[in-house]
Structure 1
Amino acid sequence: MGGYIDRSQGVQGVLDPLEVHVVTFADDGHRFALVVADLICVNVDVVDRIRTAMRGIGVSSCWVAATHTHASPEAGCFPGGTVTPRPVGDRLVAASLAAARHAMASERAARIGASRTLVPGFAGRRNLADTPPMDIPVDTIAVTAGTDVVGLIVVSPVHPTVLPADNNQVSADLSGGIRRALSAPDRWVVVATGAAGDISTRHTRQGHGRPEVDRLGARVARHVEPPPHAGHNPAAPVRPPVSRNVRLRPKQPAEFDASVCPTPQVGDDRIRLVLQQGLRIAQEQAARQRTEPYVVEVAAVALDGVTVVGVPGELFLELGEAIRSAAADQVSDIVVLGYTNGYLGYLPTHDTPPSYETYASPVSAGSGEILVEAAVEAAVEAARDRDRSRRNSA
């Protein structure tokens, strides 16, 4: 199983089935598909396979995102990305195609809007001791047919890790709890993970089992507020996503020297263990002595009134918020997805303090700011393209 370094057993049961969801957005000229899978990560190789397969059934462009559940089979979730185990990749491709065919057969005229709400005291900085609970911003993209909300895409910027490292049953974990709490006979629900790199319920949860997963899921569901009806203006044409290839420098020798210093003194046993694990990852990376840059895809797609940004790694919450605020003057509603179209790992800023995330990250400090700049550029371009298309079709 993936997600926890100190996990010693494989899958031995099913707590709740892992799911693959596909939502399609289409008009006469373009069809975009968003795939969200209950996996620890998706690597570039399986993203490419799914995109190729999707083109064969009429999907023009496609994103693939992982919920980052730590109760899934190992999918090659290694800093910098690696090869997806073939059995996992084969099943993911097959499930994505099946879900896409169903989504395409169910397409209907609809509008899209977004809203945001704060879930009070829901989570906190996961690898800091004595961190106070935070009010966590949860984004909801609502799909509305007429006046009825027929679908929800809920984006939680929180690590979906309620179940512990010694759990050996597959589960969607927190994402599944939110899905169950919001499910209704007359609408579908997809739950994705946002800028959750440094956020979890480690200091706020009251247990580690399925009851706690469902309690937290219900807490999020109580605060989800679908946006008001999108109005009577024509929907914007569906446009292709805008992508940016970003080159990020691998950690330099001096950064590894800093990483292998003694573990910071903390009183929390679990946090101390996690820090030690991060140091071991840093030492393994230093031994490989990578010199060539990492090249990752940052993308944005404008869907009616909402612009969605996809990031191939573990973006810190503050960086997701930086994308929103930097583009706020030019893009009205931005929703940020993490773990999308690849897996690089953690994306530290220039001033991220020493932590598991900085130790395990394969890239240099300041990579977070570089990625934010590219994401903002892509979001602005995608929104402008949408607005031009709307004017031309009016």
Structure 2
Amino acid sequence: MKAGFSETRIEPEVGLEMAGYIDRVEKSSGIHGPLEMKTLFMGDRDPFWLVAVDLLGIPASFRPSGTVAVATHTHAAPEPGLMTGQLNSTFDISRDRARKAASPLSSIEYIAFEVEGVCSRRTGGERSSVLGGEILVLECETGRTGIVIFPCHPTVLGPENTLYSPDLAGGIRQALTWKFGFPFMYLNSCAGDVSTRYTRAGRSPDEIERLSCLFVSSMVETGRKRIIPSGTSYSEYSFEMPVKSPDEKPPFPTRPEALPGYKLALKRLESKGLEKYRSARLGMLELGEIAMLFLPFELFLDTGEILKRIAKKRFEIPLIVCYALGYLPYVVPAGMEGSYEWYASPYEERAESHLVSEVESFLLGRRLKDGQELY
């Protein structure tokens, strides 16, 4: 089995509509930091590419064969739908570079860690800024490559920003490269209720650097294991989610921080676009004892822990990656009425339990795919 890595810049035109903040009215005016596509090739006879892109989400129209695409969820990039053509052309280059760089993969080092003060939960009463993440280090004949999986809305730069930037995701990537001495790709996890709202001291590029440095300086290892992968196995499953009624107008929010979510809900109703959120797709990459579960949603931290417990029944090391295989909004747990996330979600209250049930069915092999049992 071989693995190879490449890094390719994405260079969108200035003047495009930006994604991530409904209150941002101005179009992009320049570049603070380059947007990038990180591509990991894995396999041999059956090639597989894992792609991480500095966008809010992955447009549904970007669907190269044998590929899982994941967004870092930066709020300082163009609307994803405007980027399909450039994503395809950039991937053609990045894919070939990664495959040409491939060499035999000897092992994967799994590292669990915690960091403090970088971001925290923004809902409920708990404000702890100690959060966990995972790192995979791929040991190849020609060098090492890192994957960091961490849950956080990388939103240091605010709605007033009109410069392209990978934001905190790019800063963490760079800081880890400095610390370990080899390149990293950043995969976001269940960050639906996690952000820098209560940990950032400002909304400037200097604050990105401060939090990124804090990420590596506060990192405490909590577990480690070496895996010898024998190959890759990838499978997908499509299902439907329960969406809210298109005739139900939400009540005006009582919390000021929920107002942007209320505006999103009204915009969604005006466009009559609820149905586009119904179809969903999940994927799973198996690497021996490691299972990477890819979901398009913005999930809450607790939802991710539920999914990990389910996956633990089959795999020693389950990893949850969000903003993958497309982009779908928040799936909120019950009891979140009136919050920003509740307004911004197009899904019914039972959506979380429905999603958990679908994932459990997929992971435990009770679903059929192409007429064959998955396991």
- Equivalent residues in 2 for 1:116-265, closer than 5 Å: 116-126=112-122, 132-145=127-140, 150-184=144-178, 187-222=182-217, 223=219, 225=221, 228=224, 230=226, 235-239=229-233, 241-252=234-245, 256-257=248-249, 260-265=250-255
Question: Which residue type is aligned with residue 38 of structure 1?
Answer: D
Q: Could you tell me which of 24, 31, 44 is aligned with 2:60?
A: 44
Q: Please state if 1:115 is matched with 2:111.
A: yes
Question: Which residue type is aligned with residue 18 of structure 1?
Answer: L
Taking the aligned partners of 2:362 and 2:115, their CA distance within structure 1 comes to 29
Q: State the partner residue of 1:278.
A: 261
Q: By percentage of residues, which structure has more strand?
A: 2
Taking the aligned partners of 2:146 and 2:222, their CA distance within structure 1 comes to 8
Which secondary structure state, in structure 1, belongs to the residue aligned with residue 263 of structure 2?
helix
- 1:144 Cα shift? 1.7
Taking the aligned partners of 1:2 and 1:253, their CA distance within structure 2 comes to 24
Structure 1's consecutive aligned runs of 4 or more residues displaced over 4 angstroms after TM superposition are 224-229, 289-293
TM-score, length basis structure 1: 0.80
- 1:321 Cα shift? 1.2
Q: 1:373 to 1:217 in 2, by over 3 A?
A: farther
Bigger CA drift: 66-75 or 209-218? 209-218
Question: Is the contact made by 1:308 and 1:335 (CA closer than 8 Å) also made in structure 2?
Answer: yes
Taking the aligned partners of 1:100 and 1:217, their CA distance within structure 2 comes to 28
Question: Is the contact made by 2:277 and 2:328 (CA closer than 8 Å) also made in structure 1?
Answer: no
- Structure 1: unaligned runs, 5 residues or longer: 52-60, 76-83, 266-271, 382-394
Taking the aligned partners of 2:146 and 2:230, their CA distance within structure 1 comes to 19
Q: State the partner residue of 1:35.
A: 51
Q: Could you tell me which of 352, 356, 368 is aligned with 1:372?
A: 356
Bigger CA drift: 327-336 or 364-373? 364-373
Which secondary structure state, in structure 2, belongs to the residue aligned with residue 216 of structure 1?
helix
Question: Is the contact made by 2:253 and 2:338 (CA closer than 8 Å) also made in structure 1?
Answer: no
Q: State the partner residue of 1:344.
A: 328
Q: 1:362 to 1:303 in 2, by over 3 A?
A: same
Taking the aligned partners of 1:228 and 1:133, their CA distance within structure 2 comes to 24
- 1:293 Cα shift? 7.3
- 1:226 Cα shift? 10
Q: 1:370 to 1:112 in 2, by over 3 A?
A: farther
CA-atom RMSD in angstroms = 2.5
**Relative contact order (alpha carbons < 8 A, sep ≥ 6): 1 or 2 greater?**
1
Q: Please state if 1:21 is matched with 2:38.
A: yes
Report Cα offsets for 1:210-239 as digits up to 9, x if no partner: 1211121122223175975626xx532222
Q: By percentage of residues, which structure has more helix?
A: 1
Question: Is the contact made by 1:196 and 1:317 (CA closer than 8 Å) also made in structure 2?
Answer: yes
Q: 1:20 to 1:224 in 2, by over 3 A?
A: farther
Question: Which residue type is aligned with residue 96 of structure 1?
Answer: F
Report Cα offsets for 1:166-212 as digits up to 9, x if no partner: 11111000011101111159522101211111110101111211121
- Structure 2: unaligned runs, 5 residues or longer: 1-17, 366-375
Bigger CA drift: 300-309 or 11-20? 300-309
Taking the aligned partners of 2:291 and 2:76, their CA distance within structure 1 comes to 30
Which secondary structure state, in structure 2, belongs to the residue aligned with residue 144 of structure 1?
strand
Q: State the partner residue of 1:301.
A: 285
Question: Is the contact made by 1:18 and 1:38 (CA closer than 8 Å) also made in structure 2?
Answer: yes
Which secondary structure state, in structure 1, belongs to the residue aligned with residue 330 of structure 2?
coil
What percent of counterpart residues are identical?
Answer: 26
Q: Please state if 1:71 is matched with 2:76.
A: yes
Taking the aligned partners of 2:168 and 2:264, their CA distance within structure 1 comes to 26
Q: 1:291 to 1:226 in 2, by over 3 A?
A: closer
- Count of residues paired in the alignment: 345
Which secondary structure state, in structure 1, belongs to the residue aligned with residue 52 of structure 2?
strand
- 1:305 Cα shift? 3.2
